[in-house]
Amino acid sequence: MPDGRRDGAAEKAGVLYVVATPIGNMRDITLRAMDILGSVGLVAAEDTRRTGLLLRQLGVSVKILSCREHNENSAAEKVVRRLRDGVDVAFVTDAGTPGISDPAGRLVKRVREAGFSAYPVPGPSAATAAMSVSGFTARSFYFAGFLPARQAARLKALEMVAGVSVPLIFFESPHRIGQVLQDMIRVLGDREAFMGREITKLHETYFTGRLSELEGKFGTEKARGEITLVLRGADESEETGRIPDRMADIERLVDVMLECGLSARDISGLVSAATGLGRGMIYKMANTLKENRQDGM
């Protein structure tokens, strides 16, 4: 068997391999991953269509089992049965390393509970790839993964990491990046940030600057491709505590301008020009304050 190991399970028992696959560039597949995928009797996959394409590109023909968030428990039982029959199984996610904001945890837990072995086959990860070129120096980082889709839950999640002093890494989808950047500024302040988009793919691009600069670029323009964000952590030496105060000052300024009869459109243009914050963010702030005023009447 290719570079694998077995432990306490019976000699003829199968082994589960958790295999990292490329996040974009196919040449990032490791030699060991190719060996494992070509030798197992079953591949469990989050996305059978994408995995089928990957296996065809590698010249591998093997049965594929769907194993995603909504069927992970039932799929795990099927995997355990195959392991019991002595069949080695590989698990892959859409791209990158399984278990990093993707299914794998319940599958691995069930396999170990059943007395079988699970081994990692390391490889690409968008989180470490982005961190390596972010320019932030730290001996550790906090991986936050995907934020909740609902804004109330998202704001609460951001509040929970606001005091973390090491760089924060987030995954985000392109269709809501503008709103997420606005929420980050609202809760975390206008921190230094690094954005990687389409990492290792043909059109990979990277952006550095304050969150407000990224929001200014992507707040109204629809981004494309998968996004990884790295934010500087809370750092007393940078007086990050004054940033939220600045946002509070801006909110008070917007409130005063509303009192003076200015429209949300006019306010967004004036405040954006004076502060560098995105017009969309200021426009939404003005409308929210206006609605709160009406509700309080």
Which pLDDT tens digits describe the chain residue by residue (297 residues)?
445 444 444 457 899 999 999 999 999 999 999 999 999 999 999 999 999 999 999 999 999 999 988 888 899 999 999 999 999 999 999 899 998 877 788 899 999 999 999 999 999 999 999 999 999 987 899 999 999 999 999 999 999 998 898 999 999 988 899 999 999 999 999 999 999 999 999 999 999 999 999 998 887 767 778 899 999 998 744 444 445 556 777 888 888 888 888 888 888 888 877 776 777 778 888 888 888 777 664
Please state the pTM of the whole predicted model. Answer: 0.75
Residue 9 has what pLDDT?
Answer: 42
Burial 181-210 (b: 16+ CB within 10 A, else e): bbbbbbbbbbbbbbbbbbbbeeeeeeeeeb
pLDDT at residue number 238: 47
Provide the 10 A C-beta neighbour count for residue 139.
Answer: 5
* pLDDT score at 289: 86
List C-alpha distances in Å: 122 to 30, 57, 133, 141, 166: 8, 20, 20, 19, 24
